[in-house]
Structure 1
Amino acid sequence: MVETRIAPRYRVTKAAKIEHGGDKIGCVIRDISATGAAIEISDLVRVPREFTLIIPEDRLKLRCRVVWRKEYRIGVAFD
């Protein structure tokens, strides 16, 4: 299979939070690159199309938009 992504993704297991409208939802980042990430979450219904991803370990807050959804995972692109 040929890799077609702009930036290479790296497998990780990082605790993070999805923040939107004052609410914060816990999640786990499963892979990440300079342009996006795959995030595992238990309740996809509550995830808005656009949100801020908070990664406390790295002291990052990244604006994201959802580009795909699949069961308990979502793919996001960083804005």
Structure 2
Amino acid sequence: MIEKRAAQRHRVFKGGTITFENGGIACIVRNVSEGGAAIDLDAPVTLPQSFTLAIARDNLVRNCRPVWRSDRRVGLAFVQ
């Protein structure tokens, strides 16, 4: 299989929080790279076009947008 990602993703299993205008949702971060991440949600949720992902353990806060979805897993792109 040919790798098409611009940056290598690293597998992780860390608690995170996505926050947006009307609230926040806990998530599990499954992998992360310089350009994005994949998260798992407890239930299928409609997400806004942009939000913030925070991983307190790593002191990481990034603005994101969803780029793909598969059931409860969501692929995120970090935005400036």
Band the TM-score falls in, shorter-chain normalisation: over 0.9
CA offset at residue 6 of structure 1?
A: 0.3
Count of equivalent residues: 79
Q: Which amino acid aligns with 1:11?
A: R
| Partner SS, residue 48 of structure 2 | coil
| Partner SS, residue 11 of structure 1 | strand
- Aligned partners of 2:71 and 2:49: how far apart in 1? 15
Q: Structure 1 length normalisation: TM-score?
A: 0.93
Aligned twin of 2:16: 16
- Aligned partners of 1:66 and 1:16: how far apart in 2? 15
Aligned twin of 2:38: 38
CA offset at residue 22 of structure 1?
A: 4.8
- Bigger mean CA deviation after superposition, 35-44 or 25-34: 35-44
Q: Which amino acid aligns with 2:49?
A: R
Runs of 4+ in 1 over 4 A off after TM superposition: none
CA offset at residue 24 of structure 1?
A: 1.4
- Aligned partners of 2:31 and 2:62: how far apart in 1? 15
Provide the identity percentage: 43
Aligned twin of 1:49: 49
Aligned twin of 2:62: 62
Aligned twin of 1:76: 76
- Aligned partners of 2:23 and 2:64: how far apart in 1? 15
Superposition RMSD in Å: 1.1
Q: Which runs of 5+ in 2 are unaligned?
A: none
